[in-house]
Amino acid sequence: MNVKRTTVRLTVMAMLIGLEIVLSRFLSIPTPITKIGFAFVPVAAAALLLGPLEAGIVGALADFLGALLFPIGAYFPGFTLTAFLMGLCYGLFLYREQKFWRVLAAVGVHQLVLSMLLNSLWLWIISTAADKGYWAMVLARVPQTLLLAAVQLAVIPALVKLLPRLRKAMP
């Protein structure tokens, strides 16, 4: 890979990390058990433009740097792992081909497996309400998961339509 292309890719990743931090930390709606917002957009854009590994790195670094610079609570590495896996998931499903069933699969794995099951585990581990049980935590997160899945299923196809313009803007 040539130096100019590597520099462009790193610059795009850095901009997407910064955008994800702003969207996640400042422009999302916090609820007691999740955040509702558009922080997934920069990670999905990284997946579409750069691939699975780069999207995973964007997600993980954005989570880590966001927690370091603008902490909401104590840092917990499980959420960084989930952010990496989210980017990896989006990249595996969306990088080469963007048919709607692939968008549906990416959102399904992200929301059902990573967000609802894995993030619920992290929340249960760090929660003061851990005595209520893991499955109670999962069930409490179902409405937000369905809402966010619907938002993602609307936004990601729109992002896919912008993909030719985004790729054209990258040298």
E-assigned strand segments in the chain: 29-30, 35-36
DSSP structure class, residue 133: -
What is the model's pLDDT at position 38?
92
Spatial separation of the C-alpha atoms in residues 22 and 40, rounded to whole Å = 12
- For the full predicted model, state whether its pTM sits above 0.85: yes
DSSP structure class, residue 99: -
E-assigned strand segments in 26-90: 29-30, 35-36
* Average pLDDT along the chain: 90
With a pLDDT cut of 90, the percent of the chain lying above it is 63
Determine the Cα angle at 141 with ends 83 and 125, to 5°: 65
Domain enclosing residue 86, as ranges: 3-169
Q: Tell me what the mean pLDDT of segment 125-143 comes to.
A: 80
Label residue 58 left, alpha or beta by phi (over 0 means left) and psi (-120 to 50 means alpha): alpha
Q: Tell me what the mean pLDDT of segment 134-158 comes to.
A: 90
What is the model's pLDDT at position 130?
56
Q: pLDDT higher for 152 or 125?
A: 152
Label residue 133 left, alpha or beta by phi (over 0 means left) and psi (-120 to 50 means alpha): left
What is the model's pLDDT at position 136?
84
Spatial separation of the C-alpha atoms in residues 36 and 23, rounded to whole Å = 10
pLDDT band at residue 49 under the 50/70/90 scheme: very high
**Number of domains making up the chain:** 1
What is the model's pLDDT at position 60?
98
Decide if pLDDT at 83 tops 60. yes
Spatial separation of the C-alpha atoms in residues 129 and 110, rounded to whole Å = 25
Decide if pLDDT at 125 tops 70. yes
Q: Position of tokens 């909401």?
A: 72
pLDDT digits (tens, 9 = 90+) for 105-122: 999 999 999 999 999 899
pLDDT band at residue 128 under the 50/70/90 scheme: low
Measured in residues, the chain has a length of: 171
What is the model's pLDDT at position 65?
97
